[in-house]
Structure 1
């Protein structure tokens, strides 16, 4: 039995060492004073996680007893009861049939949502997107699904469009080609669903800039920070000076990376940059041709040149 202790401001403590923090022995359920070893309290209930298996199958390793988490996006909250397989004679009737069977009570709407959520999670996992973007994409798809504004469009196309919008709204945009690479839908169909979704939800996304892709492209190309900063400055200055009118931010970023890398010791070819950025070699060359005559004005002042501007390759 536990020894006498005193209660100080609703706090159980040792009478001899009231300031000493007590140690809890989870296995024995005791509260022990670390100074003198006195058992201050016993029969303490452990409120931690209980790692036991409650399934009928003794060989199972799943310690859960309550099923999956509740999904607020589903109509029923995804609350359901799964009856395990019968093991005794009381589980079968006189004809050998199971007395208790699971019923398919999930609505077709919820089944459609669950399928879309799995597709979004699968696509996001392939391009290493965080959970916050998955949650936003799921919410966007839920709004589109409930509004019934995109009838006739496949769920995969709507899921791809919602993932693309979620990436842009979270500040980590991906290109249509990157979404197409992990989706079953064509770029054209995703573009249509993207426009229809923005109109249906009455929302908008920020315009894409060259800086949105620069760090990711340079990281995938294994370029140093000096080249990345130079390419970012080149692309921003070229846009501000209106040197590359009508060119997409992705092609301008690719051309800026090519120019900065060619002036450094870490050179990268058109093909290497095009494969990472998803831009054709011809597109990079065309943007680079427009930027080359103004190269002296585009580079930052602190850029460390390995090759002078005069010796940069001409197209």
Structure 2
């Protein structure tokens, strides 16, 4: 590209020196658009190289280089087998031999490709970054090569790998969120998740209430001040050991419920449960444990619309 810029800077049309030249990459010429004069040649073609192996006259040419090599696949050497058809079908209209380009894919690579495609589709529905997809693909390949989860469906393993990848990359998703974009039940994903951790001897970071707070509040359309208060309430409740035995997700949901009820943007436990993937009764149970200490849970600068004394009873 630097060479092209240099050429266009020193070459100009004698009749129209101020007119920008048009670069014809296919012909390798630089042309004056005013008079059509070719004022430069041998321009480097920076476009794709194309080559066809197809014998259909009306078929479009396919790219010669193809997609990027996937290092997770065994057949990543792009090896090709040329096969000739039998009988008259081996000759075209002019009597020349017809060759067909066939790529052999092993059953192992086929299983990996299907799993990688499933992981990519789930990640796309969840708007997850590509680095999480790569980590999930690597985890799936490790499980696949270890052959320690025989009898489990590849879709279940792919879903569990995506869940683990999210946890390891610091952007955890709930089992319900993974289940919503998967074909597998929440219970089965949980089982496979535990098996993968056991067999790969890997671990995941413990999830906290703060991992979900921003996303839950954003999906509920809550103001930043409510999110800040809910984050403070959840952390304080954990520090005071008020919600022992409760999952971080249910504690986060209960904290959002308490903060929203004290603000002018009140959300019901059902609305919060639908977003957080937690049952309404579970939120109320966590809220019940936090309610007696509500006056110590709110940040000092929180502006109450509903006083603590008037918060809904558990």
Give the TM-score normalised by the residue count of structure 1. 0.80
Assess, with a 3 A threshold, how the Cα gap between structure 1 residues 63 and 26 changes in structure 2: closer, same or farther. Answer: farther
Structure 1 residues not aligned, in runs of 5+ = 1-10, 15-22, 33-38
Assess, with a 3 A threshold, how the Cα gap between structure 1 residues 47 and 103 changes in structure 2: closer, same or farther. Answer: closer
The one-character-per-residue Cα deviations of 1:202-246 (angstroms, maximum 9, x if unpaired) are 211100100000001001001111111110000000000001110
Assess, with a 3 A threshold, how the Cα gap between structure 1 residues 202 and 246 changes in structure 2: closer, same or farther. Answer: same
Contact residue 31 and residue 44 of structure 1 kept, 8 A: no
> 2: distance between equivalents of 1:277 and 1:206?
20
Q: Which residue of 2 aligns with 1:206?
A: 205
1:45 paired residue among 34, 43, 46: 43
The one-character-per-residue Cα deviations of 1:93-151 (angstroms, maximum 9, x if unpaired) are 79x9x843454621110011011111111111222211111111001111111122222
Contact residue 261 and residue 268 of structure 1 kept, 8 A: yes
Q: Which residue of 2 aligns with 1:5?
A: none
> 2: distance between equivalents of 1:61 and 1:272?
52
> 1: distance between equivalents of 2:62 and 2:22?
23
**How many angstroms does 1:286 deviate by?**
0.7
RMSD of aligned Cα (Å): 3.4
**SS, match of residue 171 in structure 1:** coil
> 2: distance between equivalents of 1:58 and 1:102?
16
**How many angstroms does 1:46 deviate by?**
2.6
> 2: distance between equivalents of 1:115 and 1:146?
15
**How many angstroms does 1:24 deviate by?**
7.3
**How many angstroms does 1:56 deviate by?**
6.9
Q: Which residue of 2 aligns with 1:234?
A: 233
Contact residue 230 and residue 299 of structure 1 kept, 8 A: yes
Range that drifts further, 42-51 or 131-140 = 42-51
Q: Which residue of 1 aligns with 2:148?
A: 149
Matched, 1:114 2:113: yes
How many matched pairs? Answer: 289
Matched, 1:26 2:6: no
Structure 2 residues not aligned, in runs of 5+ = 1-5, 11-19, 33-37
Contact residue 227 and residue 256 of structure 2 kept, 8 A: yes
The one-character-per-residue Cα deviations of 1:250-295 (angstroms, maximum 9, x if unpaired) are 1000000001111111111111100000111111111111111111
**How many angstroms does 1:186 deviate by?**
2.0
Contact residue 156 and residue 189 of structure 2 kept, 8 A: yes
**SS, match of residue 26 in structure 1:** strand
Range that drifts further, 64-73 or 108-117 = 64-73
